[in-house]
Chain A
Amino acid sequence: MAELTYREAVAAGIAQEMERDERVAFLGEDVAAAGGVFKATVGLLERFGPRRVIDTPISEQAILGAAMGAAMTGMRPIAEIMFSDFLAVCWDFPANEFSKARYMSNGQIKLPLVVRCGNGAGSRFGAQHSQSVENWAMAIPGLKVVAPSTPADVKGLLAAAVRDDDPVMFFEHKSLYALKGEVPDGEHVDQLGVARIVRPGKDCTIVALALMVHRALAAAEKLAERGIEAEVIDVRSLVPLDTRTILGSIARTGRLFTVEENPRLCGWGAEIASIAADELFYDLDGPIVRITTPHIPLPAADNLEDIVLPTVDRIVETVTRSMA
């Protein structure tokens, strides 16, 4: 096992797939010579050359459109949208084009492409560079949606996304790029649609994604000191969604908390809460509680951003109060 940062795991995942399959090429703004604004793609240009690692103009529609056109005619491109907020500029492609082409063509079109982007808050960038928008993508039939929390998952899930024949929206968390972790040596390919129990517990289930997984884990440690054993689940993939693992856990613990960076309305936690209420109502021992940001744009200032994102303390307090 090698220790890699989350950002190094991005490059490692892309490199692994480009090595394996000539049809994989990578495009985005400042991704080649500069190695990406988050330095997540350093070294790829040197290794694979400008034919396969491409610096594009600031043309989000052209980037996603080109990825789609290439995918539907025989390539397996990876496209980067620098900040996930900018997906709004080219949202036609995920929302109308590559999510629907297979269905509308009655299966004639196949779209093996990956859109990667830096997602999430914590960098004091303000409201247009800090959003978590994985829930936008989750609402669209035809897309797959992945958000890894560890370097190993970045590499393994990215590889799985590249090999998948559906369009995959791949949300990397900006505040995790420096995180270090063990990544399996050699070829590493994970599986989409598998949630992971990252901490077993018997008293309640905390379901989290990306950065919030780490906060939920820290909260679980503190809760243990208070005598509450929380089971923490890393959802990892919103579509497909591993409800078996999630519902199995809730059935055992009887309690569900979701921790998400999304604003209060229509975050993915609401969907999981709804599924649990639907299918496990009689197993529940208390209300389902969502821990989210308030329904406000994200502020830039340190102290303000810290207040709105779910913190370890907020998770601890919310769970403790609700379990009392």
Chain B
Amino acid sequence: MARPRKKPVASPGNDDIGEDKRLELWRKQLEIRHCEQRAYDLFLQNLVKGTSHLSLGQEAIAAGFAAAMRPDDKSFCTYRGHAHTLARGVPMEQMLGELMQRDCGLMRGKGGSMHLTSIDHGVMGSYAIIGAHLPIAVGSAWRAQYLGHDDVTVVFFGDGTTNIGAFHEALNYAVVFKLPVVFVCENNLYMEYTPIGAITAVEHPAADRAGAYGLDKIIIDGNDADEVYRTAQTAFAKARAGEGPSLIECKTYRHSGHSRADPGAYRPKGELERWKEHDPIKVYRARLAEFGIADAVIDDIEQAVKAEVERATAVCKAAPLPPEDILTTDVYADGGWAWRN
């Protein structure tokens, strides 16, 4: 039975988003959720190899920012980058294919789950060395400013990353040169296995340090896609107007462990359950209903996404392994690997 239709809450701030965008946010979050759950299943079946870092519970951040990005905007993410890659519109089988190290993968198995890259989608790579991509994103923003382009570069990273030098170098540099880059900290409360509070001098690892670089302290609910989307729009507008970078701390929580089969046993009892009450998917389903969107519409999208995950999985399972002849390609710009004559 359809739920009773509620009138939209009378906040003018909510009317700016509109039904089409909301459904896009809903779809993106579901794609990430279902695709990542599938990645986990495939990992347990030994079909996803190496490692994988899921962001179950953090979907609203990737979806919210991607929904505010233009196709020519650039995004840089971490090894926990499946979500950001999918959110930019990379086909599911290319993402899953790379995790399964198949020939249909984004990089034909040469990169692996921690290095997802799709330049055509503005996905400028996932970086496995903590913090390295912050200065690189700054360089992408410098290019935009230098060449007079008005695209924005967005860089996603975790709370743990705020304790590495590159974070501080990148922020100072971006502010000094007023570069169009948006720094997004996904504060999921944990580094790998260590609570961020136990090893960080300030309560809000990113936002509390923003002032040190002359930036506003911005902390948002990272589990609310609408709030993320709006914050992204504001930061992008500032960047495009030549007013420089922003640093946004999104409070969130990862439902899964850090990587692979980590059960997250280090987490206090009840913590996960409390955060699941505030699961972005749950939050957003309620939001859609609140705005009078029919259950059937909401459910149809979920069914379509599930079908897409099935389809992509089948494609990947059927895909061949990468051929050995790509082993030595693209070490150098001539396409080969020759270092001597």
Residues of chain A at the chain B interface (Cβ within 8 Å):
23, 25, 51, 54, 56-57, 59-75, 77, 92-93, 96-97, 101-112, 141-142, 144, 164-166, 193, 239-244, 275
Contact = CB atoms under 8 A, between A and B. Distances in A.
A69 B333 contact: no
Contact of A57 (B176, B335, B340): B176
A110 B119 CA distance: 11
A249 B206 CA distance: 59
14 contacts: A61-B165, A63-B135, A65-B132, A65-B170, A68-B139, A69-B139, A72-B124, A73-B144, A92-B129, A105-B330, A106-B106, A106-B108, A107-B329, A141-B331
Contact of A141 (B169, B326, B335, B339): B339
In the complex, which of the residues B129, B132, B165, B337 has the most CB atoms of chain A within 10 Å of its own CB atom?
Answer: B132
B99 to A, nearest CB: 14
A97 B129 contact: yes
A269 B173 CA distance: 39
Contact of A66 (B108, B129, B139): B139
Given A65-B138, A66-B139, A105-B117, A164 B333 contact: yes
B74 A73 contact: yes
Contact of A59 (B108, B129, B147, B173): B173
B49 interface: no
A123 B135 CA distance: 32
B115 interface: yes
A62 B166 contact: yes
Given A105-B115, A141-B331, A241 B139 contact: no
Contacts of B142: 66, 69-70, 75
Contact of B132 (A71, A93, A103, A240): A93
Contact of B107 (A59, A105, A112): A105
Contact of A69 (B141, B169, B330, B337): B141
Contacts of A109: 117, 119, 124-125
Interface string B84-115: 00000000000000000000001110111001
Given A61-B135, A70-B143, A108 B333 contact: no
Contacts of B153: 69
B169 A166 contact: no
Interface string B305-330: 00000000000000000000010011
Nearest to A101: B125
Interface string B287-314: 0000000000000000000000000000
In the complex, which of the residues B146, B147, B176 has the most CB atoms of chain A within 10 Å of its own CB atom?
Answer: B146
Given A66-B139, A97-B127, A104 B111 contact: yes
Contacts of B133: 65
B10 interface: no
Contact of B339 (A56, A104, A239): A239
In the complex, which of the residues A62, A69, A141 has the most CB atoms of chain B within 10 Å of its own CB atom?
Answer: A69
B172 interface: yes
Given A110-B333, A141-B331, 17 more contacts: A59-B135, A60-B169, A61-B135, A61-B166, A62-B138, A62-B169, A65-B166, A66-B136, A69-B140, A69-B143, A69-B153, A73-B140, A93-B132, A103-B110, A111-B333, A240-B341, A244-B341
A107 B330 contact: yes
A248 to B, nearest CB: 11
A59 B169 contact: yes
A103 B138 contact: no
Contacts of B169: 57, 59-62, 65
A110 B118 CA distance: 13
B281 interface: no
B338 interface: yes
Given A110-B333, A166-B333, A104 B115 contact: yes
B143 A107 contact: no
A243 B340 contact: yes
Nearest to B112: A104
In the complex, which of the residues B112, B136, B330 has the most CB atoms of chain A within 10 Å of its own CB atom?
Answer: B136
Nearest to A246: B340
Contacts of A166: 332-333
Nearest to A194: B341
A103 B117 contact: no
A51 B137 CA distance: 19
B136 A65 contact: yes
A92 B132 contact: yes
A268 B89 CA distance: 46
B139 A106 contact: no
A241 B74 CA distance: 36
Contacts of B74: 73
Nearest to A23: B147
B146 A75 contact: yes
Given A105-B117, A166-B333, A239-B339, A69 B110 contact: no
Nearest to B177: A54
B173 A103 contact: no
Given A72-B140, A103-B331, A96 B132 contact: yes
A94 B132 CA distance: 11
Contacts of B32: none
Contacts of A242: 340-341
Nearest to A165: B333
Contacts of A64: 135
In the complex, which of the residues A60, A61, A75, A244 has the most CB atoms of chain B within 10 Å of its own CB atom?
Answer: A61
Contacts of B330: 102-103, 105-107
Nearest to B172: A57
Nearest to A244: B341
A242 B332 CA distance: 16
A97 B132 contact: yes
B134 interface: yes
A63 B136 CA distance: 9
Given A65-B135, A104-B115, A142 B141 contact: no
